[in-house]
Structures are given as C-alpha cells and as structure tokens.
Structure 1
C-alpha cells in the first residue's frame, strides 16, 4: 500500500500550511500544495494525485470550477472544493460541475479529515492508494482499459468517460466473459 497523495490548490498559504501539517502528521497523507492552477499542472502531469482539494477563487484567471470541469474530462479524480463562498447556489453549482464535496471556510481540521475519508470511500480508494505498478491494461477486442492511467481507448481512439463510468466499465471488463449475467 502506498501513502495517499493529495494535491491542494490554495492561494491562502497560512491555511494550506496548517492543513498540510495536520494531514501529514495526523493521517499520514502526502500533501502537495500549489498556489495556482499553473503551479498544479506539473503535479497533475506527473504522478497523478489521489485527491484534489481546490479553492474556488485562485490567482491567474483559472477558478476551482474550471479545474473541476477539466478534471471531469481528463483526470477524473475525487475533488473537494474548499472555499469562502457559502451560498447554496455556489455549493450546488460546484457539486453539479464535478466537486464530490464542498467545505466552507472556516472549517475544523477533523471535519476536513473526515470529509477526505468519506470522499475516498465513495471513490473506492478507502483513503489509501494501492500499488498498481504491475497492473496490465484490460483488452476486450478493440477496447483497451488502462487502470493505471485511467484511460479507455476504442479502436485506438480515446473514450471520454466520467470517473464512475470508467470504474464501472473496468469492473465489468475485468470479469471473465462467462461470469457476466445475461442482459434481457
């Protein structure tokens, strides 16, 4: 088992450092902080994190909502939106666009930890990432499912799926053909 890796995109450095210190000491997570979307991109391009925590309002013109939209298209990671925006409209918008949870500032560190665990449970990761370096892609005819990269290709072309769709497809494709129930 590997340590869970969280990428937190937050421009309030005091909040980020306090939360990072708590999550690393109390929960054993690896937390990488980025003050902007531009700072976060190299992390997302490298060893993809297990969870994104994003602030709504960020410097540089890219918002937390923009990150949620791109995440749904590309990375399909669990996302917790952490922001000072507390209106019901803002919460609903963030959740509908792709955030898995929404936490309004100020918040308690234990609540943050509990929400991380809940989101990771729902995402099927249980809060700790398993080592998957030897995992081979699943091939079913022209369909290739790469669990390590969270990518699906059909006839060599990428297929755009949500995280839930990907997980369902991968689970079904991993079953031997004779074990799948017949559909009527």
Structure 2
C-alpha cells in the first residue's frame, strides 16, 4: 500500500548515491524503491509498477541503462530519467533514442532533481483535465501525421509511432499551434513546466529525438521546422526546409 504518494524506483549500484537519492526523495514525499542492477531493475518495474524510474547509465552485470530502457519500453511507458556523467554523453543520447524521457547530468542539486521529477510525473499523468476547447485528434493537412490525444496514439504515414510522454506532449504542442512559431521559452514552459525557459540546448535534444520518430527524412524535416534563434513551427502541409 502506498502511503507517501508516487512510487519511484532508483536504479544505481553505488550505496552512497542510493542513500542520498532515497533520503531526498523520501523527504519530498515519494515512496522509494532501489535496484542495484539492470536485471533487477526490469524485474522490479514489472513487479512494483513504479510511477517513475531514476536510472543510472553505468550498471554492473552486463546490462547498462540503455539495455534497461529497451526492455522496459517493451511493456510499459513508465517515465525514465537517466542519470549520466558528462563523459557518458553518447550513452545518454542513445538512452533517449531508446525511450528515456529526461536526463540529469552528474553532479546535480536536490532542487534540480525534485524539479525534474515533478515535471516528468506531471507530463506522464493521464489524469489531468483536458481543455474542452482543444481537439481530441490532431492531423497534418496532408494526413501524414495523426495524433489521437485521448488514446495517446500517434501515426506517421501508415506506421504507429511510440512516443515517450515528453515527446508526445512536445508534438501535441507543436501540432496544436500548427503554423505558429513557438519560441524556445514557450515550448519549454508548456512541456516541462514553469521552472524551465532558458534551456534551448536541452530542447534541441528532444526535437531531434522527435524528428527521428515522425519525420520521413529527419535531416530534412518537413513538419517540425526550426526558426533560427527563435524556436520551432509545425508545418501542417509538410514543407521541406533545412533543420
């Protein structure tokens, strides 16, 4: 029985890190579980169904954080925040490619951890009220991209696309305001929350992941188009432009 709100699974093999994360998250009102290996993490996600996973990239036992992302995404869309050192940049990007929702670069403060956890849980929640004036289905004018907001389904052409909660909300915002340029600040605050606004580089990482999933030619995007120095715009008719 949950008595302290949302349940978070911490996956890390270093006891000092485990203790710090457990203490800080418990103080924040979360129920905390701990796994020390990738194999144990996958088993605990299946057994305990956490609301969020904090996942270290480097794990012992032959299954790293990327492998955990791949296996977990086969049966659940539970949000995953990857914990990564700067030297693990390529692994961090690979983890995002395979389904991680967010990342934290070590070392990080407790305030940043709490903010990222709150934002990720907020994005993943399906219980938040939906604005009745917003459409339940969003499509590009040429029919290539289709989003069912209620069922949380996305198609690109004839293929169903599996998006993380973060990617889904980012695409929803872009399609909802098709043809309008959305600034970096506007997108960051709409998708990640009011704590964000200046992380343009951070946003670019997620736009890249989204393009890889929904654009037929991600290097020459037709739908999610960059407005240099400003932000992004969704071109509903699929107009080819430079990224």
* TM-score (normalizing by structure 1): 0.63
* Matching residue of 1:53: 54
Aligned equivalents of 2:73, 2:26: Cα separation in 1: 27
* Matching residue of 1:121: 122
Aligned equivalents of 2:33, 2:23: Cα separation in 1: 11
Instruction: Give the secondary-structure state (helix, strand or coil) at the position aligned to 2:73.
Output: helix
Contact 1:23 1:113 in 2 (8 A): yes
Change (3 A) 1:100 1:14: same
Which structure has more relative contact order (CA 8 Å, sep 6+)? It is 1
For residues 79-90 of structure 1, the aligned pairs below 5 Å read 79-86=80-87, 88-90=89-91
Query: Does 2:82 align with 1:70?
Result: no
Contact 2:10 2:32 in 1 (8 A): yes
* Matching residue of 1:112: 113
Contact 1:54 1:80 in 2 (8 A): yes
2:23 alignment partner, one of 21, 40, 50: 21
- CA-CA distance at 1:163 after TM superposition: 5.7
- CA-CA distance at 1:41 after TM superposition: 4.0
Q: For residues 97-132 of structure 1, give each alpha carbon's deviation from its aligned partner in whole angstroms, at most 9, with x where no partner exists.
A: 111001111110110010011111111268xxxxxx
**Unpaired runs of 5+ in structure 1?**
127-159, 168-184
Query: Does 2:12 align with 1:10?
Result: yes
* Matching residue of 1:35: 36
Change (3 A) 1:32 1:125: farther
* C-alpha RMSD over aligned residues: 2.7
Change (3 A) 1:66 1:42: closer
Aligned equivalents of 2:66, 2:42: Cα separation in 1: 15
Equivalent residues, number: 133
* TM-score (normalizing by structure 2): 0.49
* Matching residue of 2:98: 97
- CA-CA distance at 1:86 after TM superposition: 4.5
Aligned equivalents of 1:98, 1:51: Cα separation in 2: 13
**Unpaired runs of 5+ in structure 2?**
128-160, 169-243
